[in-house]
Amino acid sequence: MRRAALATGAVVVLGLPWAVPRYFVFLASLIVVNSIVAIGLNLLSGYTNQLSFGHAGFLAIGAYTGALLTIHAPALPVPAALLVAGLVTAAVGLALGIPCLRLEGLYLAMATLAFGFVVVEAILNLDWITRGNDGLRVPAARLGPIALATDTARYYLTVAVAALLILAALNIARTRTGRALLAVRESEIAAQASGVHLAAYKTLAFVLSAFYTGVAGGLFALVVGFLSPDSFDVFLSVDFVAMIIVGGLGSVPGSVLGAAVITTLNDSLAGFQNYRPLIFGAILIASMLFMPGGIASALRKLSVAGAAGYPGTAPPAAKPRQGDDP
């Protein structure tokens, strides 16, 4: 049953470029890229119960790193460029995570919010390398002899990278590190008492999250082909948060679903820019009030098959309520 569903899914995903118009292939690539960011963000919020409002900043770092590598080192194969984009972003995440994640509560949310603004500011000021507001055109990347010049080629690239990253995210709970992260999620105090270094593991979750987003940024640069600082404003960070809220906190399939829903919605509301935040705000509030686990948990409640979920989808234990000390 599960296998059949997976096989059908794989056929749909792989066959898509041959069945739909070009624009939808581009949109699907964007959904896949956003799914990677959402999974990354969910690694953070799912395991540490913290939120980042600066993931657009990480995406920008990954995107500009990837783009600059493609421009200045055209011989570098794409996977290496993406890896470097991820690693650079992860390093920035480490630098940001160390001061913020020693503390509990809302510090990370606030610091990442400010971080997002600083990244945009930095892109504007480093215009000798990023071309500032003029924007940066990204040439087609090369994978050995093949130039990834078509939407279809780029789509397959994003799908391949996403598949790897999804597998890694699903299996992280089986590693020693993953078990420590799960312990942190269930009870920080109990985890700490069992010898889990709380700050280190939270920072690790944040760094992993930044890595995912950096790789997604590299892909974003290739898929969109043009980077400018205003594509990475705070509202993009809010979109990423909306993806995991709508999809389901702490759930990998939820991240993908949320990314699909929000990206499609964004695209269909392109003609109604003024109403977009109104609708997104309403969606966020409604999800929180009426569907706290997101689509993922709503589906799980509906289907019995949900009982066969992989480790890491169980709803977290009791959390501090409004009014309690965080």
Partner 1 sequence: MTTAALVHVVVSGLATGSIYALMAISLVIIYNATRTLNFAQGEILMVSTFVGWTAMQVLRAPLVVVLIVAVAAAAGLGWALERLVIRHAISATHFDVLIITLGLSLMLRSAAGLVWTHDEFPFPSLFGNRPLAIGPVRLAPVSLGIIGASLALMLALYALFRWTRMGRAMRAVAQNQRAARLMGISVERVYSGSWVLAAVVGAVAGVLIAPVVFLSSKMGLVAINGFTAAVLGGFGSMPGAVVGGMLLGVLENLAPLYLPSSIKHSVPFLVMITILLVRPSGLLGRVARRKV
Closest CB 189 distance from partner 1, rounded Å: 5
Name the residue nearer to partner 1 (CB basis): 32 or 261: 261
Which of 76, 153, 284, 299 is close enough to bind partner 1 by CB under 8 A? 284
Task: Work out the number of other CB atoms within 10 angstroms of the CB of residue 218.
Answer: 33
**Cα dihedral 186, 191, 192, 197 in deg (nearest 10):** -100
Closest CB 132 distance from partner 1, rounded Å: 11
Closest CB 204 distance from partner 1, rounded Å: 18
Report yes or no: 32 and 223 within 8 Å, Cβ to Cβ.
no
Q: Cα dist. 177→47, 115, 165 in Å?
A: 11, 27, 16
Which of 8, 125, 150, 171 is close enough to bind partner 1 by CB under 8 A? 125
Q: Cα dist. 307→29, 33, 69, 294, 295 in Å?
A: 31, 28, 45, 17, 16
Site for partner 1 in 135-174 (CB under 8 A): none
Q: Using the rule CB under 8 A, is 278 a contact of partner 1? A: yes
Q: Using the rule CB under 8 A, is 80 a contact of partner 1? A: no
Can you state the angle between helices 252-268 and 294-302, rounded to 10 degrees? 120
Closest CB 194 distance from partner 1, rounded Å: 14
Residue 99 CB contacts under 8 Å (≥ 6 apart), including other chains: 111
**Binding segment for partner 1 among 14-22, 97-105, 260-268, 296-304 (CB under 8 A)?**
97-105
Name the residue nearer to partner 1 (CB basis): 59 or 224: 59
Report yes or no: 48 and 107 within 8 Å, Cβ to Cβ.
no
Report yes or no: 235 and 53 within 8 Å, Cβ to Cβ.
no
| Residue found by looking up tokens 């480093």 in the block | 126
Which of 189, 302, 304, 308 is close enough to bind partner 1 by CB under 8 A? 189
Residues that bind partner 1 (CB under 8 A): 45, 49, 51, 96, 98-100, 102-107, 109-111, 113-115, 117-118, 121-122, 124-125, 189, 238, 241, 245, 274-278, 280-285, 287-289, 292, 319-326
